[in-house]
Amino acid sequence: MLPKTPAKGMRDFLPKQFALRQQIMATIQKTYESYGFTRIETPAVENIELLTSKQGGDNEKLIFKILKRGEKLENAAESELCDLGLRYDLTVPLSRFYANNIGQLPSVFKAMQMDSVWRADRPQRGRFRQFVQCDIDIIGEETNLAETELISATTQALSNLGFDNVTVHLSDRRLLTALADKCGYSDSQKPSVFISLDKLDKIGFSGVEQELSAIDKDKAGEFINLIQSIVNSDNPFETCADVLNGYLPDSVKQNIQDILYVTNSLIQNGKVVFDVTLVRGMGYYTGTIYEVYADGLNSAIAGGGRYDKMIGRLTGQDIPACGFSIGFERIALLMEERGITFDCNRGIAVLLDKRMTADERTNVIRQCADLRKQNNVTVLNKIKNFGYQLKQLREQGYADIYEYRNGVLSKID
Amino acid sequence: MLPKTPAKGMRDFLPKQFALRQQIMATIQKTYESYGFTRIETPAVENIELLTSKQGGDNEKLIFKILKRGEKLENAAESELCDLGLRYDLTVPLSRFYANNIGQLPSVFKAMQMDSVWRADRPQRGRFRQFVQCDIDIIGEETNLAETELISATTQALSNLGFDNVTVHLSDRRLLTALADKCGYSDSQKPSVFISLDKLDKIGFSGVEQELSAIDKDKAGEFINLIQSIVNSDNPFETCADVLNGYLPDSVKQNIQDILYVTNSLIQNGKVVFDVTLVRGMGYYTGTIYEVYADGLNSAIAGGGRYDKMIGRLTGQDIPACGFSIGFERIALLMEERGITFDCNRGIAVLLDKRMTADERTNVIRQCADLRKQNNVTVLNKIKNFGYQLKQLREQGYADIYEYRNGVLSKID
């Protein structure tokens, strides 16, 4: 027998599930369009050199690689076997897209993408091997107008999806670097320090301190004390700026201050707070980073940051870029669990008798065509187990069911 | 330098191209919904056993195969290297979907799919390695109500896309078989006979006869004469039925007659004709087959047929099934070539001055939020080359452009 189930970690979507997902996407797209973002699409498959160019961080370990075609593959090393792979995110392909189409794009390009990505991750609850990402990016805008627009648009999209109390956590990679500098960490130690700090919500301050001690026993205590003194102060951002006096350029401080001020004045469904413990995984971030938390949920439902050095690897010249990604699958799961469904009145079902003549059949189908100008109309043959058929049709959302009897279309109650 | 271009045979879609494609899909989806079809989704990746189970015909030679992960691959045969592949059509995955979810689907399931498929074909004009297919299928309906609904819905969708004069060509695989039987072809010869006949539009009758002679010299002439006598008669269907008297069950004849009668009474934008030369490539068809031709185009823009034996390979029990596929890429290309674009008034562009204070910035962005209740509004910093920026914005479809000067938002003409 052939396999009936989808490939490991992947999913079939039934009509109701698909409808919910499509409705969420439509809501997000409409919101983003109202902010001037336009949707683009790149292929699911990219050249393997692009996918393994050290932009994708740990995701590069999770690539589904595609076998070369039409070649002798015996005794070949793995690196020679594959020339293509499935994309693991939408940011690396966006950079390639921008470089490839730069002549046809406006000087500030506001891109929207909603598409599947693939990662050969260990499947677990809420984590799949094919899943949708939902990104907006502003390319070519060096000022924080990019950040304020991204934060406004994303919180508005979440509001339109029913998230009416969100908190945006904001920080800056340069600020983390300054903190590490102040404690005397070397450049080579910093990535490990940040990776440990990123685990704070999972392992707590004591856990982070333990990991930091393994990197450098002397500096661990000072770093943790610094972070805690900022977190526990009345005004974490002012405290942090004071602590980093001499280590952080004024412009970086001013930038965060501006973004906090502008976005807090604008957002209707929540607030934006400075969070010194924010790290975010990807190595390509060069400036601001941000995540969105919703009431009652302890992991982020959206996140992003500025990556001013990535596109230059493809164009040869650095171009400022800044993005925000909504956790589509997280939100779809939440909405499904909360039983949120969209109106599924499918319209009218018309039941025919198999013994009807071609003339009768034509006559009734023509009547259905008239009904169809105003309604969705499905035409079906009556089955033997008529009660079961009616039950199924009601479950599918058919409000009105008609049958054709003695030349007349009459409603069944 | 990293690769900037998409992988061979694949495409980037710019905002305007994406918008056209999405609009075509929305038109098709809305039409199909009005006929009671509901959209589903399956993963892009399937287990390789499913994809190589001899349902996919020649497409199985074009599979993008995915390398196994985390295993020793040295000295492995190609068949041991891969456990997954990208789908090459939507019909094989639909059959798996149906078998996997049968308990949650209605007794007659009207499925719609619009999704990418991948084939490692030789790229050429209008043929790509990733492309969208757009299928409707009715599973569980053994009568020709399935065919009449599929033909009505598909021609209506084409009408809604602007194809106002189409011809549906209709035949039946059992009729082709009967023709071959009458000429004395053996069962093992039939597939080659049909493959040759399928080339008629490319190589003409003399070309087909030449190929048939290679299969069986004696029968080639008789077969070609039969086909030509039918094609050239005043009523090809009646002639064919007469010719096949004794070779074709009455029910098959009656079935085609009914479909021709009912659909011709219903379709507004064209007609349905019997075409004895219609073959269609896939081996899984068991009954009716059909293709749609549009005025002035010499290859089909849609096609499908009945495949009553395919799902049984997954469920263990035959279930009648019937499908119709619109050539999405063909249609998108035609519409792009004809310069058909959808209204792209993107709304309002508001230009800020970089030297504005955070207060001014907040003030104007708040005004934009008000405007956004009725319009799409993009907020951008003014660039040095202001004239170029204006030109770009007009090209992008921004009808109204405002700038903020001395505390006031004023329109630029």
Tens digits of residue pLDDT in A268-285: 999 999 999 999 977 889
Which residue's structure tokens are 């049958």?
Answer: A403
Return the ∠ at Cα B354 (arms to B352 and B357), rounded to 5°.
Answer: 90
Asked if residues B83 and B47 have their Cβ atoms less than 8 Å apart, the reply is: yes
What domains are defined for chain A?
15-337 (3.30.930.10), 347-412 (no CATH)
Task: Give the best residue of A17, A45, A48, A60 to mutate against chain B (max B CB count within 10 A).
Answer: A45
B105-156: pLDDT as tens digits: 999 999 999 999 999 998 888 789 999 999 999 999 999 999 999 999 999 9
Q: How far is A14 from chain B (nearest CA, A)?
A: 5
User: How many CA atoms are closer than 13 Å to the CA of A52, on its beta-carbon side?
Assistant: 13
The closest of A276, A280, A119, A128 to A199, measured between CA atoms, is: A280
Residue by residue, DSSP assigns B244-275 as TTTTS-HHHHHHHHHHHHHHHHH-SSEEEEE-
Using a CB-CB distance cutoff of 8 angstroms, which residues of chain B are in contact with residue A383? 107-108
Name the residue facing B3 among A47, A130, A381 (closest C-beta).
A47
The closest alpha carbon to A130, from B137, B297, B84, B126, belongs to: B84
pLDDT digits (tens, 9 = 90+) for A284-334: 899 999 999 998 888 899 999 999 999 998 888 999 999 999 999 999 999
Say yes or no to pLDDT of B75 above 70: no
Asked whether the beta carbons of residue A38 and residue B22 sit closer than 8 angstroms, the reply is no
CA angle B84, A11, A326 (to 5 degrees): 110
Give the pLDDT of residue B56: 82
Task: Determine the 3-state secondary structure of B301 from DSSP.
Answer: coil
C-alpha span between B259 and B54 (Å, rounded): 30
Q: Compare CB distances from A266 to B10, B130, B365 and report the shortest one's residue.
A: B365
| pLDDT at position B189 over 80 | yes
Residue A366 with chain B: CB contacts under 8 Å: 265-266
Sort out which chain A residues have CB atoms less than 8 A from B369's CB and list them. 152, 266
Q: Which residues of chain A have pLDDT under 50?
A: none
Enter the pTM of the model: 0.94
Residue among A5, A82, A372 whose CB faces B67 most closely: A82
The pLDDT score that the predictor gives to residue A151 is 98
Give the largest Cα separation in chain A, rounded. 92
pLDDT class of B283 with cuts at 50, 70, 90: confident
Is the Cβ–Cβ distance between B197 and B208 less than 8 Å?
yes
- Closest residue to A365, CB basis, from B43, B262, B393: B262
Contact B19, A39 (CB under 8 A): yes
Chain B residues with CB under 8 Å of A47 CB are: 3, 7
Our CA-based measurement puts residue B256 at a distance from the nearest CA of chain A, in whole angstroms, of 12
Name every chain B residue with its beta carbon within 8 A of the beta carbon of A96. Answer: 2-4, 6
Beta bridge partner(s), residue A278? none
Q: What is the mean pLDDT of chain A?
A: 92
Nearest Cβ partner for B389 among A47, A107, A261: A107
Rounded distance, CA A196 to CA A279, Å?
Answer: 9
Q: B383 contacts in A (CB within 8 Å)?
A: 107-108
Please name the amino acid found at residue B125: R
Q: Classify the C-alpha dihedral A89-A139-A25-B15 as positive or negative.
A: negative
**In this complex, do B262 and A362 lie within 8 Å of one another by their Cβ atoms?**
yes
- List chain B residues with CB under 8 Å of A258: 358, 361
Instruction: Determine, for residues A39 and B22 on separate chains, whether the beta-carbon distance falls below 8 Å.
Output: yes
pLDDT recorded at residue A413:
72
Q: What is the pLDDT of residue A409?
A: 87
Mean pLDDT value of segment B219-224: 94
Per the listing, tokens 């009455």 go with B250
